């Protein structure tokens, strides 16, 4: 399989504007893989980068597809024709060729997933952002024992963790990883998703719509001893609720630990629960291991790249063993291909997606 010199892709055209354009096929840099996507999935970050002043270039992060060519320096054993899925750094003004919403794309090779035969391309396309983000939030930040650490999992057995936003695509994966790490998982969602999240392993589910009541209910359920929380929404309200639900004693470990997948004002946490450890915030794009510019300048973080390599390899095994379920894909709402992607971005922006992920065949 060879790639043409040009390809179609969704690109940022200006503040709040995205369009399909004919663009050069992305060049294959060292450490990257050239891929022909068969399906792409949408994340909130996609429309936010179109709407915000910090997005540029080709849009999109999540995909599944087929390897076309493997660049120099890729150490993971991909070859042309292999099924592959994972994360691209889309809407990246520091590397504008990098988005997933195109007919040919490039992705950092060593942090991409191998698709097992048990998963469809539609299912696999939902994984990239969620897997990397779970690795950062649950394991790099909160230091949960990896599912492969038998002694650590045994020691953690029954320890409560709160995952706020359980019906998000990332929360859906986070619930499963936390259970595989031995934890008792408490999560929040709307009541229509309670049974679904329990089927994934959540032990207790609370109605996030009861903003005044759910933190107290979590405190009661945990005896006031909740010391781990991961916030998959990362708003002031979600941070405040998590802090209110957590242990208010500093403890020998420096305080209850909260991590969020985006920036949250530390003052919100401090006001709600002064005894907590300083909040930790992650950003999935740092897993690529390259410097980039958005609302701030982000230096390359080789340690994040190395952790992602390890965690993605571990996840390859969990997927092959059938130990992880993907978010439910909803295919081609509003159309197929890149035209469907444009329609889906508007659906996601309007808040019409919960408990599943919009996926488009390419």
Question: What domains can you pick out in the chain, each with its CATH number?
Answer: 6-127+312-361 (3.90.180.10), 132-282 (3.40.50.720)
Q: Is 80 exceeded by the pLDDT of residue 341?
A: yes
pTM of the model: 0.96
- Burial degree of 146 (CB within 10 A; 0-12, 13-18, 19+): middle
The confidence band for 56, taking pLDDT boundaries of 50, 70 and 90, is: confident
Q: What is the mean pLDDT of residues 178-191?
A: 98
The span from the CA of 321 to the CA of 164, in Å, is 27
How do residues 57-72 score in pLDDT, each as one tens digit?
999 999 999 999 999 9
Strands 257-260 and 280-281 turn out to be: parallel
Say yes or no to pLDDT of 78 above 90: yes
Token pair listed for 34: 């050239």
Interval 231-257 mean pLDDT: 95
CA atoms within a 13 Å half-sphere pointing along the CA-CB vector of 110: 17
Least reliable range by pLDDT among 20-24, 50-54, 189-193, 334-338? 50-54
Kindly give the pairing relationship between strand 113-114 and strand 257-260: unpaired
Percent of the chain exceeding pLDDT 90 equals 93
User: What is the mean pLDDT of the segment spanning 320-332?
Assistant: 97
In this prediction, residue 15 carries a pLDDT of 87
Q: Are 135 and 160 in contact (CB under 8 A)?
A: no
In the structure, what pLDDT confidence band is assigned to residue 212 with cuts at 50, 70 and 90?
Answer: very high
- Beta strands 356-361 and 32-41, pairing class: antiparallel
Q: 3-class SS at 343?
A: helix
Handedness of CA 212, 217, 218, 222 (dihedral sign): positive
What average pLDDT does the segment 271-295 reach?
Answer: 95
User: Residue 251's pLDDT is what?
Assistant: 86
pLDDT (tens digit per residue) in 111-143: 999 999 999 999 999 999 999 999 999 999 999
pLDDT band at 218 (very low <50, low <70, confident <90, very high): very high
Q: Which of 284, 286, 288 is nearest to 109 (CA)?
A: 288
Using only C-alpha atoms, what is the Rg of the chain? 20
221 CB burial (10 A radius; 0-12, 13-18, 19+): middle
Residue with tokens 């996609």: 46
Nearest CA to 112 out of 154, 62, 73 is that of 62
Q: Within 10 A of 95 (CB to CB), how many other CB atoms are there?
A: 20
User: What is 115-176 written as a DSSP string?
Assistant: PPTTS-HHHHTT-HHHHHHHIIIIIIIS-PPPTT-HHHHHHHTT-EEEEE-TTSHHHHHHHH
User: What's residue 38's pLDDT?
Assistant: 99
Structure tokens at 152: 């650590």
The mean predicted confidence, pLDDT, of the chain is: 96
Predicted pLDDT of residue 22: 97
Q: Which of these, 153, 134, 168, lies nearest to 328 by C-alpha position? A: 168
Confidence of residue 351 (pLDDT cuts 50, 70, 90): confident
């Amino acid at each position: 399989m060879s790639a043409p010199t040009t390809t179609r892709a969704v690109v940022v055209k200006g503040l709040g504007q995205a369009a399909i354009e004919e663009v050069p096929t992305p060049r294959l840099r060292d450490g990257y893989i050239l891929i022909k996507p068969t399906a792409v999935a949408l994340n909130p970050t996609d429309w936010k980068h179109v709407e915000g002043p910090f997005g540029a270039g080709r849009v999109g992060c999540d995909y599944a597809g087929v390897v076309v060519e493997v660049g120099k320096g890729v150490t993971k054993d991909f070859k042309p024709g292999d099924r592959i899925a994972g994360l691209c750094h889309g809407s990246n003004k520091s590397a504008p060729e990098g988005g997933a919403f195109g007919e040919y794309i490039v992705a950092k090779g060593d942090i991409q997933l191998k698709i097992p035969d048990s998963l469809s391309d539609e299912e696999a396309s939902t994984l990239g952002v969620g897997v990397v983000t779970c690795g950062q939030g649950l394991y790099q930040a909160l230091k949960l024992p990896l599912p492969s650490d038998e002694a650590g999992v045994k020691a953690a057995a029954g320890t409560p963790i709160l995952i706020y936003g359980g019906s998000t695509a990332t929360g859906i994966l986070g619930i499963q990883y936390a259970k595989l790490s031995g934890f008792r998982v408490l999560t929040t969602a709307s009541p229509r998703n309670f049974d679904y999240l329990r089927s994934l392993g959540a032990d207790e589910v609370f109605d996030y719509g009861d903003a005044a009541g759910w933190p107290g209910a979590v405190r009661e359920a945990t005896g006031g001893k909740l010391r781990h929380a991961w916030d998959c929404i990362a708003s002031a309200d979600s941070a405040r609720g998590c802090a209110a639900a957590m242990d208010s004693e500093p403890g020998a470990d420096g305080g209850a630990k909260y991590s969020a997948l985006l920036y949250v004002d530390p003052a919100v946490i401090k006001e709600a629960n002064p005894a907590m450890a300083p909040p930790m915030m992650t950003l999935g794009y740092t897993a690529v291991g390259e410097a980039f510019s958005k609302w701030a300048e982000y230096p390359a973080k080789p340690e994040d790249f190395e952790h992602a390599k390890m965690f993605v390899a571990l996840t390859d095994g969990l997927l092959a063993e059938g130990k992880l379920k993907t978010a439910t894909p909803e295919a081609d709402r509003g159309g197929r291909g890149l035209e469907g992607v444009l329609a889906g971005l508007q659906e996601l922006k309007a808040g019409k997606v919960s408990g599943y992920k919009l996926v488009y065949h390419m």
